[in-house]
């Protein structure tokens, strides 16, 4: 562990130095210079101040709770028993709530929720200072598995209607409203009201403006005309709400901890109410696994759109979801009437689902350091909708996802910052509640991976063909060539070129506080460490075969090339969902169902995931054969997934690895098939080739890390190279290498860590880590 920490520290230093060097050559845009007061140009608009987004308005790190711990296993939960743990989880939550707060703790292992088909009820967290905490979202940590799709409550009919698995919510408890009696300009932090007494006993408030066509011009930033099919804004006008935390009250003025991001005109009928919220609650360090199988079809039915939702936060402030992994889900989380939330350091993977994080009806909320690594990217990216204001999507990696999302219903003044996407947008939303976004939207250093686009129109009058946004600001839009119709944007600068500062959110926050909060760099570094925990790098002598490249569905035989370039022969049934949602196989008694071709380097240790199918009370036996000889065996009874391991094999040279179902039925039970499912074959070579010793492995790589994705690879004998990402997807295959210097070019791929596998003509194979800055 100490060694790993040192590695990442060095990696962070190198990355910082490389990035700093590169940024000096990047443009500092005029709009940023105006924001910090270096210039005063009337042709350059003012940037909104987005720096108040996130937990404690971005000023403090999310804390590690020191509240009492309520271990779910003390309330009846049992890890890895494949039985429902919901009752125990609810009991632990109730105990924490009754004591005024606590950590509901999940030890290592798998816990089961929604085990009963037809359930439509969430697990509810209704108090402040309640943190659902696991033992890590990486391998060997805490897994919460959602066994069945959530059912719709009676009366729910829309494809989007379904309760999530977990809800943080407190009942709405608002004061009587008071009226605003004066305007409040953007950049100020107070309102003047006719009766401050209604706020007695309240910490938070809601400012509300009922639908009002008189406010259209202000919040549309003067943009016209309006499409006739946008019925809501045409007939009743813009509706607005904002949530704030009271700092103090003086006379008839109520001061807040954050400032207004837009002008507030009292003539538009704004009111203020005390608003009850739970606070300081969270969900962290958990791998949540659902079972959506896909392929995803938008609006096919509620299971596709919403049935595998994980978390909803309602009437919640200064709370979070962090350091967690979500597999095969509809979306991570959504909000309703919330303030100053953080969704950070999160991974989405498995099958593509509907959305990522839906920030709806929220103020000053942050969704950042999020990696969408689903197989086709989520259908919608981070969503800002439903009167959301002053919120930020920050450092999101979603190169296969359709793009950023605004679902309409009057969001305004939000930021998408250092966001990697495939298309310009991946929006949705009913035409009745368009435009998708009002004024104040800024796109800062967005990178698009998809096809080139010419004259993208942000004010197009058509149904579901583009995002309709009032006068966006676009700075540093880069990667594939993209131009925008200038008549329908407010301001554009540095098209095709990444700008400095890289992150507008970070720069505005540092500018406001006169220092960069320490939590930002710490979170970025921790996020990179989590990626390694989610997808551990293959060492130079370690291999994993996931079986994901197998095409076979149903019974049959197939020869295929696996994750590391080795050839495997399968005589089995290709399936999914017996062990997890990925590809796996099962075969019956007496069958050697998986056999490799010859692999060089020997074998020292071996493991494979197994699960007995049907006839659960009958014992199973698994054997490992190397070069036709049995080198290990295991017996197992029961229905849980288990690991068959063999250590100290110590066979050198070329090896053929085979797995046999050696189960034998009890006397008189020959009709039983005694099937076993298998997934994830792992083995280590007997010969270790340390990549740091270039003379030993006969290869060297420079520079590494590389800023531009171009490397010089020197080899001392002819070889073939392959490059894949940490998920096992090939970036380049079958690259011929000559003796001496060779150029490797991965400049067209995103920043991150990749694996280079070299196989020489003499049969020696080794792996090196490529770092692309």
In a domain, 116, yes or no: yes
Cβ neighbourhood burial of 140 (10 Å; 0-12, 13-18, 19+): exposed
Interval 207-251: pLDDT, tens: 999 999 999 999 999 999 999 999 999 999 999 999 999 999 999
Residues 194 and 147 in one domain: no
Q: Of the candidates 534, 568, 583, which is a domain's last residue?
A: 534
Confidence of residue 727 (pLDDT cuts 50, 70, 90): low
Prior bond of 507 cis (ω within 30°)? no
Q: What is the pLDDT of residue 193?
A: 99
* pLDDT for 698: 56
| Residues 468 and 324 grouped into a single domain | yes
Structure tokens, 235: 């007939």
Q: Over 70: is that where the pLDDT of 354 sits? A: yes
Domain containing residue 646: 542-684
Residues 653, 605 share a domain: yes
Closest CA to 697 of 769, 764, 651, 611: 764
Domain boundary among 515, 534, 553: 534
- Of the two residues 604 and 509, the one the predictor is more confident about is 509
**622 lies in the same domain as 673:** yes
**Where does the pLDDT of residue 670 fall: very low under 50, low under 70, confident under 90, or very high at 90 and above?**
confident
Top-ranked range on mean pLDDT: pick from 240-254, 455-469, 522-536, 700-714: 240-254
| CB contact burial 402-427 (16+ within 10 A = b; e otherwise) | bbbbbbbbbbbbbbbbbbbbbbbbbb
> Where would I find the beta strands (DSSP E) of 318-430?
320-327, 331-336, 338-339, 342-350, 357-360, 362-363, 366-374, 383-385, 392-397, 415-421
φ/ψ of 183, rounded to 5, equals -70, 155
Residue 767 lies in a domain: yes
For residues 324 and 243, state if they share a domain.
no
Question: Same structural domain for residues 17 and 152?
Answer: yes
Q: Which residues contact 486 (CB under 8 A, 6 or more apart)?
A: 492
C-alpha span between 345 and 395 (Å, rounded): 10
User: Residues 155, 291: one domain?
Assistant: yes
Band of residue 462 on the pLDDT scale cut at 50, 70, 90: confident
With cut-offs at 50, 70 and 90, classify the pLDDT of residue 667: confident
- DSSP string spanning 438-461? -S--EEES-EE-S--EEEE-TT--
Instruction: Compute the distance between CA of residue 299 and CA of residue 306 in angstroms, rounded to an integer.
Output: 9
In a domain, 320, yes or no: yes
Residues 336 and 476 both lie in one domain: yes
Place of tokens 């050559």: 25
- C-alpha to C-alpha distance for 114 and 745, rounded to whole angstroms: 47
3-state secondary structure of 231: helix
Q: What is the pLDDT of residues 19-63, one digit of tens each?
A: 333 333 468 999 999 999 999 999 999 999 999 999 999 999 999
Q: What is the DSSP string of 532-546?
A: HHHSPPPPTTEEEE-
Assigned token pair, 212: 């009002």
Q: Lowest mean pLDDT: which of 247-261, 408-422, 542-556?
A: 542-556
Helices and strands (H, E) in the chain, number of each type: 9, 53
Asked if 28 contacts 17 with a C-beta cutoff of 8 angstroms, the reply is no
pLDDT in tens, 472-510: 999 999 999 999 999 999 999 999 999 999 999 999 999
Q: Does 69 fall in a domain?
A: yes
Q: What are phi and psi of 233, to 5 degrees?
A: -70, -30
Query: Residue 610's pLDDT is what?
Result: 93
pLDDT over 70 for what percent of the chain? 92
Query: Given pLDDT bands bounded at 50, 70 and 90, which one contains residue 729?
Result: low
Contacting residues for 590 by C-beta, under 8 A, at least 6 apart: 661, 662, 663
Determine what percent of the chain is predicted with pLDDT higher than 90.
69
3-state secondary structure of 513: helix
For the cut 70, the answer to whether the pLDDT of residue 765 exceeds it is no
Query: Which is it for the CA torsion 196, 198, 203, 205, positive or negative?
Result: negative
Q: Please give the pLDDT value at position 563.
A: 79
Query: Between helices 518-534 and 2-23, what is the axis angle to 10°?
Result: 120
Indicate whether 526 and 630 sit together in one domain: no
Give backbone dihedrals phi and psi of 23, rounded to 5 degrees, phi first: -70, -25
Residue 70 to residue 76: CA distance in whole angstroms = 12
Strand partners, 252: none
My answer on whether 373 and 481 are in the same domain is yes
Mean pLDDT over the full length of the chain: 90
Average of pLDDT values for 65-77? 97
pLDDT band at 652 (very low <50, low <70, confident <90, very high): confident
- CATH number, domain of 590, equals 2.60.120.260
Give residue 10's pLDDT.
33
Residue 689 belongs to some domain of the structure: no
Domain boundary among 684, 706, 722: 684
Q: 100 vs 103, 278, 291, CA distance in Å?
A: 11, 12, 34
236: which 2 tokens? 């009743």
Assess if residue 400 is contained within a domain.
Answer: yes
- Which pLDDT does position 714 carry in this prediction? 78
Residue 355 shares a structural domain with residue 485: yes
- Mapping DSSP to helix (H, G, I), strand (E, B) and coil, where does residue 271 land? strand
Q: Is the predicted pLDDT of residue 699 greater than 70, yes or no?
A: no
Tell me: the pLDDT tens digits for 376-397? 899 999 999 999 999 999 999 9
pLDDT at 728: 54
Q: Which residues contact 270 (CB under 8 A, 6 or more apart)?
A: 179, 180, 191, 207, 208, 209, 264
DSSP for residue 268: G
The pTM score is: 0.75
Contacts of 7 (CB under 8 A, 6+ apart): none
Q: Give me the CATH number covering residue 738.
A: 2.60.40.3080
For residue 442, what is the enclosing H or E element?
strand 442-444
pLDDT of residue 15: 37
Mean pLDDT to the nearest integer, 153-171: 94
Q: Specify the pLDDT at position 294.
A: 77
Instruction: Tell me the mean pLDDT in the region 283-309.
Output: 92
Same domain, 423 and 566: no
What is the average pLDDT across 93-114?
A: 98
Higher pLDDT: 91 or 598? It is 91
Strands (E), 588-675: 592-596, 605-612, 620-626, 629-636, 642-646, 657-661
Listed residue (709, 758, 765) closest to 735, CA to CA: 758
**Residue that wins the pLDDT comparison between 738 and 448:** 448
Q: How confident is the model at residue 726 (pLDDT cuts 50, 70, 90)?
A: low
Residue carrying structure tokens 């096992």: 728
Domain count, the chain: 4
Dihedral of the alpha carbons of 382, 386, 390, 396, in degrees to the nearest 10: 0
- CA 187 to the chain's CA centroid: 32
User: 722 or 332: which carries more pLDDT confidence?
Assistant: 332
């Amino acid at each position: 562990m100490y060694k790993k920490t040192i590695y990442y520290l060095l990696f962070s230093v190198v990355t910082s130095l490389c990035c700093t060097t590169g940024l000096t050559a990047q443009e500092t845009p005029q709009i940023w210079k105006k924001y910090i007061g270096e210039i005063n140009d009337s042709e350059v608009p003012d940037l909104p101040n987005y720096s108040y987004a996130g937990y404690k308005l971005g000023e403090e790190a999310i804390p590690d709770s020191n509240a009492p711990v309520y271990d779910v296993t003390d309330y009846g939960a049992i890890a890895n028993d494949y039985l429902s743990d919901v009752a125990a989880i609810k009991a632990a939550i109730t105990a924490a709530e009754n004591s005024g707060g606590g950590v509901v703790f999940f030890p290592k292992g798998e816990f089961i929720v929604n085990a009963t088909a037809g359930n439509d009820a969430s697990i509810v967290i209704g108090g402040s200072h309640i943190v659902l905490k696991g033992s890590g979202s990486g391998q060997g940590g805490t897994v919460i598995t959602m066994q069945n799709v959530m059912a719709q409550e009676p009366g729910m009919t829309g494809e989007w209607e379904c309760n999530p698995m977990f809800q943080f919510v407190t009942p709405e408890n608002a004061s009587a409203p008071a009226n605003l009696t004066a305007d409040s300009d953007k950049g100020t932090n107070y309102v003047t009201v006719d009766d401050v007494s209604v706020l007695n006993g309240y910490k938070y408030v809601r400012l509300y403006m009922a639908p009002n066509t008189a406010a259209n011009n202000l919040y549309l930033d003067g943009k016209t005309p309006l499409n006739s099919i946008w019925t809501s804004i045409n007939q009743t006008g813009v509706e607005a709400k904002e949530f704030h935390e009271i700092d103090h009250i003086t006379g008839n003025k109520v001061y807040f901890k954050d400032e207004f991001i837009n002008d507030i005109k009292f003539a538009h009928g704004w009111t203020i109410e005390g608003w009850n919220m739970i606070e300081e609650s969270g969900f962290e360090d958990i791998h949540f696994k659902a079972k959506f199988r896909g392929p995803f079809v938008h609006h096919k039915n509620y299971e596709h759109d919403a049935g595998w939702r994980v978390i909803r936060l309602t009437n919640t402030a200064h709370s979070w979801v962090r350091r967690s992994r979500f597999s095969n889900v509809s979306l991570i989380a959504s909000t309703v009437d919330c303030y100053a939330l953080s969704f950070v350091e999160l991974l989405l993977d498995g099958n593509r689902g509907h959305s990522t994080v839906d920030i709806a009806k929220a103020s000053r909320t942050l969704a950042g350091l999020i990696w969408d690594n689903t197989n086709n990217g989520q259908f919608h990216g981070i969503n800002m909708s439903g009167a959301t204001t002053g919120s930020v999507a920050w450092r999101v990696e979603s190169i296969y996802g359709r793009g950023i999302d605004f679902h309409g219903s009057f969001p305004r003044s939000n930021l998408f910052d250092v966001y990697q996407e495939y298309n310009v947008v991946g929006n949705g939303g009913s035409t009745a509640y368009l435009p998708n976004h009002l004024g104040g939207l800024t796109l800062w250093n967005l990178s698009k991976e998809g096809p080139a686009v010419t004259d993208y129109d942000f004010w197009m009058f058509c149904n579901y063909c583009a995002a309709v946004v009032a006068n966006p600001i676009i700075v540093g839009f880069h990667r594939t060539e993209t131009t925008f119709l200038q008549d329908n944007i407010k301001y554009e600068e540095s098209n095709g070129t990444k700008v400095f500062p890289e992150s507008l959110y970070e720069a505005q926050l540092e500018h406001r506080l006169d220092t960069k909060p320490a939590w930002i760099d710490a979170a970025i570094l921790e996020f990179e460490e989590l990626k390694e925990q989610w997808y551990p790098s293959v060492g130079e002598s370690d291999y994993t075969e996931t079986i994901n490249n197998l095409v076979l569905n149903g019974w049959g035989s197939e020869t295929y090339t696996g994750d590391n370039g080795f050839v495997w022969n399968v005589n089995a049934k290709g399936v999914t969902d017996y062990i997890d949602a990925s590809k796996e196989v099962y075969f019956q008694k007496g069958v050697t169902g998986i056999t490799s071709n010859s692999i060089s380097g020997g074998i020292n240790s071996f493991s494979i995931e197994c699960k007995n199918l049907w006839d659960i009370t009958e014992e199973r036996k698994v054997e490992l054969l190397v070069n036709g000889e049995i080198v290990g065996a295991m017996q197992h009874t029961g229905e849980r997934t288990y690991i068959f391991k063999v250590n100290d094999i110590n066979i050198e040279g070329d090896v053929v690895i085979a797995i046999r179902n050696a189960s034998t039925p009890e006397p008189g039970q020959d009709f039983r098939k005694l099937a076993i499912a298998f997934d994830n074959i792992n083995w280590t070579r007997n010969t270790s080739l340390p990549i740091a010793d270039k003379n030993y492995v006969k290869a060297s790589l420079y520079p590494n890390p590389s800023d531009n994705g171009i490397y010089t690879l020197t080899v001392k004998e002819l070889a073939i190279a392959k490059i894949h990402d940490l998920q096992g997807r090939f970036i380049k295959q079958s690259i011929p290498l000559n003796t001496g210097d060779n150029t490797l070019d991965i400049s067209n791929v995103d920043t991150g860590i990749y694996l280079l596998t070299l196989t020489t003509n003499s049969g020696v194979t080794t792996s090196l880590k490529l770092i692309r800055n």
